[in-house]
Amino acid sequence: MAKNNKKYIFITGGVVSSLGKGLASASIAALLERRGIKVNLLKMDPYINVDPGTMSPTQHGEVFVTDDGAETDLDLGHYERFTSLTLTKTSNFTTGRVYLQVIENEREGKYLGKTVQVVPHITDEIKRRIHLATQEADLLLGEIGGTVGDIESLPFLEAIRQFAGDVGKENVLFIHLVLIPYISAAGELKSKPAQHSVKELREIGLYPDIILCRSDREIDKSILEKISLFCNVSKHNVFHSIDVDTIYKVPLEFHKQGFDEKITELLGMWTGRPSIQDLEKVVYNYENPLRKIRIGIVGKYTELIESYKSLDEAMRHAAIANQVKLQNIYIDAEDLENKDEVEKILSNVHGILVPGGFGQRGTEGKILAVKYARENKIPFFGICLGMQLAMIEFARNIAGIKDANSEEFTQDGSLIVHYMKGQSKDGVKGGTMRLGAYNCHLVDGTNVKRIYGDANISERHRHRLEVNNDYLNKLKEAGIVVSGINKDLNLVEVIELPDHPHFIGCQYHPEFKSKPFCPHPLFYSFIKSADQLAVSKENEERL
């Protein structure tokens, strides 16, 4: 076997799902990258959907989009936010994707008439994709979704067991994340579920090198030592991850425990100490805000905040950079459809944001929110559908196009927004949108050009509908400014209103490219404008 110089870390979870494996993976990667190691990350999802693109946000959370147009798991957002990486379609795959490829291979005769089985064909395809994700890196962190014991994750666990044998166990590290629950009736933390989880992992041939213990409170040293003893893992290899008030403290908390140093020691990767000043600056600004601002986010997936995960984080990045404390107020758009409620609900916010989404439900409430922001000079930011609804509101109330609407909602009236060429609401839904990075040219003299400080930008898209150019001249004559266009496709990308503190809409999703130590300029500008309104209101109250 040829010498293998690459290193691999596989992270599994036990006891319950949603423990934060993605956040742990991102935090570890943040520290290792800051030690000078070239890292990459991979999320392996056991569900049978080919990708999360057609899954309801309330079922699975946000769909994260990469530059190359892949619709992926929201954990890839954590990976990109905590590191300098720009991930691709090779950074996330599902059971559905694996089985689809294996079936296609079988149909093409690539297995030479053999019986196709989970072992070796499914596990071989998983291993192939792991190698593919490692090509440009020295170290790969691979996260397996779900929980040990799930029937869906068994092929992935078997694949990484085999993988360690293929590349040499000295090049592979297994980290197992477990919950240490607090039992109120007993008044103490319990380690037994974690012990059983490790036992189940060992029964299928995986032996964790490191155990990471999650809890909502401090874990006594005796419990960590008990886990070490019963799980046959050195006490120096048992770490804890306690709830913190901001996720951007997690890498620093890991570093304090020597977690990253232990990883490099076990893998034989000797490096200097990580440069973490940028993360420390983020935490300092978070802990020392100058003011508090309230942003009204008018959407229809408000019952699950993870539906807007990247959006939520991008807002926090901008708030941290502006050194303000952010209170996101999620407003169900349907609550605004009663016009009498609009003033009562929105009068107390310093900014209004209408995010992307699909479907007609709640859109009239969102349009009323746009109108309120425009008329009352409240900083406004519309993203994707939010920009389209801003165009419709302007068309109806300023440009005199009273029946302005979107083809997504109706075939009648003046369709200010329509489907892209070749698209319709009846088409195949999976992976058929304008997805991924597209270029945009910003017009000289516009507010958006000033915010970006550049004429040519690239941003990520996820949508089927566009502004209808047939109505563009009439809208421009009424006063709307098209400040960004895609020259290749002749499409509207960004709009703004003059004589307004901050009224910007963009067709793309800027939240996908924001990082805590490098906030996206549009979010930074929006939060800055909201902060200025907050200061103005404070001064008025003093008078």
Please write the tens of the pLDDT for every residue from 90-116.
Answer: 999 999 999 999 999 999 999 998 999
pLDDT of residue 303: 57
Taking only the tens place, the pLDDT of each residue in 193-241 is 999 999 999 999 999 999 999 999 999 999 999 999 999 999 999 999 9
pLDDT exceeds cutoff 80 at 190: yes
Q: Which of 20, 64, 6, 61 has the alpha carbon at shortest distance from 175?
A: 20
Question: What domains sit in the chain, N to C, each tagged with a CATH number?
Answer: 13-269+276-280 (3.40.50.300), 289-542 (3.40.50.880)
**Whether the Cβ atoms of residue 256 and residue 262 lie closer than 8 Å to each other:** no
Taking only the tens place, the pLDDT of each residue in 289-305 is 999 999 999 987 655 56
The residue among 58 and 249 whose pLDDT is bigger is 249
Beta bridge partners of 223: none
Taking only the tens place, the pLDDT of each residue in 462-486 is 988 999 999 999 999 999 999 999 9
Contacts of 10 (CB under 8 A, 6+ apart): 141, 142, 143, 144, 160, 163, 172, 173, 174, 175
**What is the average pLDDT across 354-359?**
83
pLDDT of residue 430: 40
Provide the strand spans (E) within 258-375.
291-299, 324-332, 351-354
Which residues are known catalytic residues? 384, 509, 511
> For residues 498 and 395, what is the distance between their CA atoms, to the nearest angstrom?
16
pLDDT exceeds cutoff 80 at 542: no
CB atoms within 10 A of CB 211: 24
Report residue 412's pLDDT band, with 50, 70 and 90 as the boundaries: very high
Phi, psi torsion values for 457, nearest 5 degrees: -130, 170
Average pLDDT, the chain: 92
Taking only the tens place, the pLDDT of each residue in 75-96 is 999 999 999 999 999 999 999 9
Q: Encoding tokens for residue 102?
A: 């294996």
Taking only the tens place, the pLDDT of each residue in 489-536 is 999 999 999 999 999 999 999 999 999 999 999 999 999 999 999 998
Percentage of the chain lying above the pLDDT 90 cut: 81
**Whether the Cβ atoms of residue 507 and residue 463 lie closer than 8 Å to each other:** yes
pLDDT exceeds cutoff 80 at 427: no
Q: What is the pTM of this model?
A: 0.91
pLDDT of residue 3: 52
Handedness of CA 251, 257, 261, 264 (dihedral sign): negative
**Whether the Cβ atoms of residue 146 and residue 152 lie closer than 8 Å to each other:** yes
Phi, psi torsion values for 501, nearest 5 degrees: -55, -40
pLDDT of residue 371: 97
Amino acid at 7: K
Taking only the tens place, the pLDDT of each residue in 23-34 is 999 999 999 999
Q: Which of 521, 519, 368 has the alpha carbon at shortest distance from 452?
A: 521
Q: Which of 140, 136, 153, 174 has the alpha carbon at shortest distance from 41?
A: 140
Q: Encoding tokens for residue 211?
A: 């155990």
Contacts of 518 (CB under 8 A, 6+ apart): 317
pLDDT of residue 428: 40
pLDDT of residue 181: 92
pLDDT exceeds cutoff 80 at 306: no
pLDDT of residue 2: 42
pLDDT of residue 409: 92
Helices 309-321, 521-542: crossing angle, 10 deg rounding: 60
- State how far Cα 318 lies from the chain centre: 16
Query: For residue 367, what is the enclosing H or E element?
Result: helix 363-375
